[in-house]
Each structure stands twice: as structure tokens, then as C-alpha cells.
Amino acid sequence: VRSRGLGDVYKRQELKSIKIMMQMKNVFLYAIALLQIVLMAACSDNDYLNAIPSKSTALISVDMQTTDGDGKGVDKENILKSMLHVENVSDCGIDVTEKLYLFETVDGNLGLCAKVADEDNISNWLNQLSQKHICTELTERKGFHFAVLKDSWLVGFSSKALLVMGPVVADARADLQRQMVRFLNADEDAGVKSSRLFAQLDSIESPIAMVAQVQALPEKFVAPFTLGAPKDADASQIVIAAGMKVENGILKISGKTFSFNKSINQALQQSQTVYRPIKGDYVKSMPNDALAGIFMNVEGTRFLPLVQSNQGLQTLLMGINAAIDMDNIIRSVDGDMAIVMPSLGTDNMQMTMAARLSHAKWLSDIDYWKQSCPKGSTIGNWKKNAYCYSSGKTCFYFGVSDDKQFFSGNDQLSAEYSILPSNHPIDQHIQQMIKGQKMVMVVNLGKAGSGDNALQAVTGLLAPLFGQLKAVVYILQ
């Protein structure tokens, strides 16, 4: 009897254990199902990103719900009003709780992508703009709706994504619309989420972040970003990843340069060991009306290989390299160096260069330089340890001060002032940004009206995001 009783106890315990295991299994299955639902919801939240082409050469994300380190949020009302003429953010149909993206395609078109919260509200907003003659009436193609905004930008949308692309002339609208239909209809495999640029962008903790191939930048500003890359490296292989914020009307871009190509990336990272903290010797020497300036602190013998393999700097120096041994001059540098470009002259070289020198032994070679000048060019005496090179297109004054500073420029005044404080220097806040950094490039947006189309395009893109800017300062991290 006792044996049967004990067996019943064991049986009851076994049944109880099985019941507990079944309950645990049910809980586990429920958790798995819940996780799947969450993951599916997360994926569907990002479906609008499939409309951004995977081969985009530049991406900018704008998190309209996040603040930067100073507690300043992104002004979504101003952004949407400036870019899309949105008067009422709450009922325009755009989901402002999700990131807005700007991108550049391989063929150079600029684009904007936003998540659609309500397709009907998007239609109503564009119909209101049409009544105000800001955009055309809505048309339909392949199930998607389109309008032309301000005669230059094509707007297309689905129930998931809003795309704006351009600028486009009337004759090219049909081709761009066909492209946009393909983008709006893309699945996850064809969208930007599968790209390495997007993976880098998603890792940057900043309300406004950028990842771009160097080829997407205006050609005149490429040189500083390619310093250290092998000579045969293509601009599409070099990438900038950066966070952006505005300080006192100055757009501060803090970023890194890298490559997905292992050997190119290794060369880029190694080259950055050449830079030393900038002391600020020449931050007051850049006038506030100059277009751009590059600042660094280097030891010339280590920096020279970077210059020799950089196509942009070689092009800049081409006008004088035939007569002046700039390699020897750069070898003598030891300290702060600044290259300032007053404008983007295309017919001749426009620059000043200032640098601290360890020595000026190359001055003993000047007589040889004079004798070996190419036909049609001369090197003449200017003043003590200073000379003037001139040819049909180029005039370049250069020399060494008593305290071993190299000074140079396209005329006597700019050469002399290349190592002296300007009467109207760049903003003091910019000067402070430069000091202590490795390499800094300053672009004066006040010169955007000087006729350079690339600079005007950049300014036009930045203004809605950041308001009226005085300058852009890129700081290599």
C-alpha cells in the first residue's frame, strides 16, 4: 500500500513538473511572438528609407526629436517651412517623429526623404500649395503622386515615403520621375539601409549627422580630405563621417576621414599621425573676406609625402612649382602652417601660404632657380630674403622673415600680411575653434555670392537646416 502511495506522490510531482514546463514553454513562445511583433513594427517604421537609393554618395540625417550637447533642438518648423513651404507641421502629413534625410545620387541630384504619417494630409498640403501657385497640381504615375515644387524640384510620395529631388529642368522631369517611381517602389534590398554609408551614418550620435564620399563635395574643397590617401585613390573611395552643430552662426563639422578599402584606410589613418596640435600662429592672418583657409601644425619632412601624393594641392601649386622648389620649402617647415585662398580663381593660382620654419637653407638655391626658370618666366629680387616669381599668368611673392617664418602671396601686400594679423580677421570664435586641433578647414559662406555655383549650391542646402551661416569649419578628429 505504501509503495502504491509513494508511486502516486511521484506521479503527482511528475505531472506538476510537466505542467510547470508547459507554462514556461507558453511564456517563452509568447515572448518570441512579442519580439517578432516588435521587430516587424520596427522594420515597418523604417520602410520609408527604402526610397533613398542605395548608391547615394552623400547622406545627412536630421533627428527632429533630439537635442545637441548644448540642449538646442532642431528647428523642425523652420526646416520644413524653408525646404517644403510647410505652414502647419501638425497636419502636413509628414511624420516629424522620424528622421528626415538628405542625400545626393551618383548622377548629382539632391534629394530629401521623409516618412509619411498620413497620405491624405500630404495630398491636402500639396493641393494648398498648388492653389498658391507654389507647386503644380498633383498627377499620378504607377500608383504614386507627383508635383513640381517651385519649378525646380520634383515631389513624389507613397503611403510610406515622401521624396523631393532636383533641381531639374523641364526637359529632364520625365526621366527623374521614372527614377523616383523606382525609388518609391524599392524594397529593403535596393534601399539605403543595406549600404555601408548608412551603417556609418546610423552610428553617429548627433542631431544632424553626415556621411559622404569625397566625390560628393565641391571639387575645389576636396584637397584637405584626401591628404594622406595613396596617389591612385579615387575620391569615391574616401569617406567623411561627421556630426554637425551651429555655434554663433558658424557650422562646426567634427569628423573623420576613412575608407572602406583596407589599404587606403590604413594610409589615411597613418597620415593623421603627422598632424600636431595647432598653436594658432596664423588664425588672425586669414581675412574675413577670404574664401577658404587650411590650418595645421606639421614637421615638413613628414608632411611632404602627403603633399606630393595629393592631386588637389599639386594642382594648386602647379603654377609655381616649375620654377620654385616648393618641396624644399615644405621640407623646412616645422610648426604652424596656413594656406589661405582669397577666391576660387580658375585661370591662375590664388593663395597665400605662411609657415614656421626650422631653417631656410633653400635660400642658397635661389640663384639656381633664377637661372633655370622656364621660358617666359622670371624670379626677381623683392627685398631682403624675399623674391617675386612672375610668368604670363602667375605672380607669386615669397620670402623668409628674420624670425624664420615663410610668407607668400599673389601680391606684395597679401604676402607680407600672410604672417601678420589682418586688419579684419576671421571671427574670433572661429579662431578659438582652430587652436589645439589637428587639421582645420574654414570656408567663408559670405563669399557664396562670388559666382561659384558649387558653393552657392552648398549654401542653399545648408540654410534651411541651420539658418543664416557665416562660415563652415571642418575639424579633423
pLDDT at 79: 81
For residue 38, the model assigns a pLDDT of 42
Say if residue 426's pLDDT is above 90: yes
What is the rounded average pLDDT of the residues 193-200?
93
What is the pTM for the complete model shown? 0.83
pLDDT confidence band for 41 (50 / 70 / 90): very low
Give the chain's mean pLDDT: 86
Confidence of residue 223 (pLDDT cuts 50, 70, 90): confident
Tens digits of residue pLDDT in 364-404? 999 999 999 999 999 999 999 999 999 877 899 999 999 99
pLDDT at 26 over 50: yes
Average pLDDT estimate for 60-78 = 68
The average pLDDT across 335-346 equals 83
Q: What is the structure's pLDDT at 267?
A: 95
Q: What's the per-residue H, E or C state across the chain?
A: CHHHHHHHHHHHHHHHHHHHHHHHHHHHHHHHHHHHHHHHHHHHHCHHHHHCECCCCEEEEECCCCECCCCCECCHHHHHHHHHCCCCHHHCCECCCCCEEEEECCCCCEEEEEEECCHHHHHHHHHHHHHCCCECCCEEECCEEEEEECCCEEEEECCCEEEEEECCCHHHHHHHHHHHHHHHCCCCCCEHHHCHHHHHHHCCCCCEEEEEEHHHCCHHHCHHHHCCCCCCCCHHHCEEEEEEEEECCEEEEEEEEECCCHHHHHHHHHHHHHCCCCCCCCCCCCECCCCEEEEEEEEHHHHHHHHHCCHHHHHHHHHHHCCCCHHHHHHCEEEEEEEEECCCCCCCCCCEEEEEECCCHHHHHHHHHHHCCCCCCEEEEEECCEEEEECCCCEEEEEECCCCEEEEECCHHHHHHCCCCCCCECCHHHHHHHCCCCEEEEEEHHHHHHCCHHHHHHHHHHHHHHCCCCEEEEEEC
pLDDT of 69 above 60: no
Lowest-pLDDT choice from 75-89, 125-139, 263-277: 75-89
Dump pLDDT digits (tens) for 224-247. 889 999 988 988 999 999 999 888
- What pLDDT was estimated at residue 51? 96
